[in-house]
Amino acid sequence: MVRLTINGKLVQAAEGEMLLSVIRREKIDIPALCHHEAVEPYGACRLCMVEITRPEWDGWANFVTSCLYPVEENLIVSTHSPKVIELRKTIVDLFLACHPNTPEIIQLAADYGVTHTSYEEVPEPDDCILCGLCTRICETMGFKAISAVGRGHGKEIAPPLGEAPPDCVGCLACAQNCPTHFIKFSDRNGVRRIWEKDFELMACSRCGRKTITREFAESLSAGRDIPMEYFEICDDCHRMETSRTMGRIANWSREVQP
Ligand code: FES
At 212 the pLDDT is: 94
Contact 82, 92 (CB under 8 A): no
Q: 32: Cβ below 6 Å to ligand 1?
A: yes
Helix ranges (H only) for 112-198 are: 133-140, 173-177
Q: What is the DSSP letter of 153?
A: G
**Structural domain boundaries in the chain:** 2-80, 81-125, 133-241
Atom of ligand 1 nearest to the CA of 31: 1
Q: 47: Cβ below 6 Å to ligand 1?
A: yes
Strand duo 147-149 + 9-13: pairing: unpaired
Q: 102: Cβ below 6 Å to ligand 1?
A: no
At 92 the pLDDT is: 97
Reply yes or no on whether the pLDDT at 181 is more than 80.
yes
3-state helix, strand, coil in the chain (%, to 5): 35, 20, 45
Ligand 1, atom 1: closest residue by C-alpha = 32
240 confidence band (pLDDT: 50, 70, 90): confident
- Residue whose CB lies within 8 A of the most ligand 1 atoms, among 29, 48, 87, 91, for a mutation test: 48
Q: What percent of the chain has pLDDT over 70?
A: 99
Distance CA 35, CA 218 (A): 29
With a CB cutoff of 8 Å and minimum separation 6, the contacts of 135 are 146, 147, 148, 157, 174
101-110 tens-digit pLDDT: 999 999 999 9
258 confidence band (pLDDT: 50, 70, 90): low
Contact 3, 12 (CB under 8 A): yes
At 247 the pLDDT is: 80
Contact 7, 78 (CB under 8 A): yes
DSSP string covering 41-80: ----S-TTEEEEE-GGGTT--EEEETTT-B--TT-EEESS
Distance CA 217, CA 169 (A): 9
List Cα–Cα distances, 246 to 58, 231, 240, 250, 258, in angstroms: 60, 21, 10, 6, 20
Q: Rounded to 5 degrees, what angle do the CA atoms 231, 234, 238 make?
A: 95
Reply yes or no on whether the pLDDT at 253 is more than 80.
no
The pTM of this model reads: 0.86
Please tell me the distance between residue 131's alpha carbon and the centre of ligand 1 in angstroms. 8
At 257 the pLDDT is: 66
Q: 129: Cβ below 6 Å to ligand 1?
A: no
At 244 the pLDDT is: 81
User: Higher confidence at residue 63 or residue 162?
Assistant: 63
The mean per-residue pLDDT over the stretch 102-126 comes to: 94
The mean per-residue pLDDT over the stretch 157-184 comes to: 93
Distance CA 199, CA 213 (A): 6
**In terms of Cα–Cα distance, which of 170, 173, 236 is closest to 204?**
236
Reply yes or no on whether the pLDDT at 153 is more than 90.
no
Atom of ligand 1 nearest to the CA of 66: 2
At 188 the pLDDT is: 94
Q: Does domain 2-80 have CATH number 3.10.20.740?
A: yes
Question: What's CA 183's distance to the chain center, in Å?
Answer: 13
**In terms of Cα–Cα distance, which of 89, 39, 91 is closest to 67?**
39
> Mean of the per-residue pLDDT values for the chain?
93
